[in-house]
Amino acid sequence: MLNRREMMHGVAAGAGAALGVPLFPERLIASPATNATPKRIIFFLQNQGFDPKTCIPEGMNGSGSLAKAKLPEPISALEPYKERMHIINGLHGMHASPTHSAFFGALGGYRGGDGVPPSAATIDYALSKALPQTLLPHLCIGMDSIENMASKPTIATLSASGAGQPIFMHSNPNQLYQMLYGGISTGNIRRQFEARSNVLNQIEKLAATKGRSLPATDQQRYGRFVQGFKDVNGLRDRLDTVASHLRKFAPKVDERYTKPEFETDWHDVLLDLGISALTSGITNTLTVGSGRGEIFGAWKGLGIEQQGHNLGHMKQPGNPIWIKIRQYNSRMLVKMIEAMESVPEGSGTMMDHTLIVYTSNNADKQHTNGANWPVMLLGNFDGAFKTGCFTQLDGKRPINALYATLLRGAGQNCDRFNMSEKLAKKFDTSAGPLTEVLA
């Protein structure tokens, strides 16, 4: 169990890393200065690997259209959305040394490992800075067993805002609801929100005072801790200014929050909160970690008794357990698509300007060398990417090339992402974005 001090540190660090610039309520939905349609991106990472046979239609041995293809059973729920899909096979992440998980390296495109701090910002954070700013530029949620989510409500394993600066993901929906919607709630949730806010305000003041007595070498590190509380409190104040708007999007709180029967109850409401943050305009970047970037995870609500590391030792193709997990994920992706499609935006809907990136923090399987890292895209990011197709690459370009392509789609001129020329000579045969992916 986390003690009180560890829990509070997680709360402060998580919000502090997710925030970073002065933000304004008038940019909640779009930028009035440019009249630009706001884009948004979602990363969904499943642990234990993403076997290509669970996503590539049978008989497709080379690049081609998905129009007449039948999607494999694990992702069959996405069949109605094939025209919005782009399946990519043949990227690699050997330089990330994934093994059990690449951790921060999965989204960073660099060497990762258990307990290894991030060496640079990850692509989700980089995109959150490239897109029009929102009240909460980047939201991360993590799904795990109910025991792990309850004992470690915040954890940092996948996203980072810079070298040595991890971003915490939220796994307790009650705490996340309080952070996002506590100011517009009533009853017990409101009382808990106010009590928690008072505590955070007091800790910020106390921490700021105590920090002055520390040696100079420790003051900078301690300053980041204090800044975390300032950011938490500042976010609360900013959300209060748009309370009437947020009230339209806040999910209904039911017993799945307070009395979950299975961990999937919390998975479902965490997804609801992530979707509401996107549709309300609170954030433009959402990262979902199913398994939270580690080797654990549980899905007892799907009738699966096995959990954690053992799941990674099971072959995924044709495995009824992995079919259930992947189908569950696919239904989550469909739920996000339907939510985005239900909100008008510009001449279309929010989904027209949204991209969902589905992959694994562990390439194709557990105990992998990262030689193949399948990725599935949904949406075209306001026309930036090709859809309705499967692309087979030759295994010579790294996941970094895809991340550079995503930044190009966001309007950033990027030829390499987190890859030096020296490293590229060994792990990348070209420079610039993936032309096979860009429209």
- Mean pLDDT rounded to a whole number for the chain: 85
With tokens 């998580």, the residue in question is: 14
Please tell me the pTM assigned to this model.
Answer: 0.86
* Averaged pLDDT for residues 33-47: 82
Residue 32 or residue 256, greater confidence: 256
Q: pLDDT digit string (tens) for 297-330?
A: 999 999 999 988 889 899 999 999 999 999 999 9
Delimit the domains of the chain by residue range. 4-29+41-427
Neighbour-count burial for 177-216, b at 16+ CB within 10 Å, e otherwise:
bbbbbbbbbeeebeebbeebbeebeebbeebeeebeeeee
The radius of gyration computed from the CA coordinates of the chain, to the nearest angstrom, equals 21
Give the residue from 23, 6, 244, 282 showing the smallest Cα distance to 139.
282
Q: pLDDT digit string (tens) for 230-285?
A: 555 567 677 877 888 888 899 999 999 999 999 999 999 999 999 999 999 999 99
- pLDDT > 70? residue 119: yes
**CA gap 102, 419 in Å, rounded:** 16
Q: Among 22-36, 42-56, 333-347, which is the least confidently predicted range?
A: 22-36
Fold of 4-29+41-427: Alkaline Phosphatase, subunit A (3.40.720)
> What is the distance between the terminal CA atoms of the chain, rounded to a whole angstrom?
49
Q: What angle do CA 301, 268, 309 make, to 5 degrees?
A: 55
